[in-house]
Structure 1
Amino acid sequence: MGNALWDRLSVEAQAEVDGLISAGRNVQAIAVIRESAGLPAPGLHECVDLVDQRFTRVRRGSASSR
């Protein structure tokens, strides 16, 4: 994906974040990012930006699978 914060997350955390975003649970996705990224903990704005980027990818992926 080319995002340093995304790259800090484990594969499991990435899957969980994408699942939460897909379910419309963005606040919970941000919590998972902040808990899973390690130290230094990412800021809220950085997490929101990542959720926005992932939302676009998750939505694009689900549209192509229809």
Structure 2
Amino acid sequence: MDVDLWDRLPDQIRAEVDSLVSAGRNVHAIALIRERVDPPTPGLHACVDLVDQRFRVVRQGPAGS
């Protein structure tokens, strides 16, 4: 996961990204990341990768169960 990109997002936005990913709204999650992260704006590929990683985390749960 692009930890640097995830770390650049405020906690509230991280929670919102996870909520969107949980609801299957990946395109909205990507748009949110690009809109709300501090500059420089990440590329589309980096955002897609991050959303894919967050899907895996959200799906498995915090302990990987």
TM-score normalised by L of structure 2: 0.90
How many percent identity over aligned positions? Answer: 64
Higher relative contact order (CA 8 A, sep 6+): 2
Mapping for residues 31-42 of structure 1, pairs under 5 Å: 31-42=31-42
Any unmatched runs of 5+ in structure 2?
none
What is the alpha-carbon root mean square deviation over aligned residues? 1.9
Amino acid at match of 1:24: G
Mapping for residues 1-66 of structure 1, pairs under 5 Å: 3-61=3-61, 64=65
Matches of 2:19 and 2:53, distance apart in 1: 14
Number of equivalent positions: 64
Shift, 1:2, TM fit: 6.8
Structure 1 pair 7/60, CA: closer, same or farther in 2 (3 Å)?
A: same
Alignment partner of 1:12: what SS?
helix
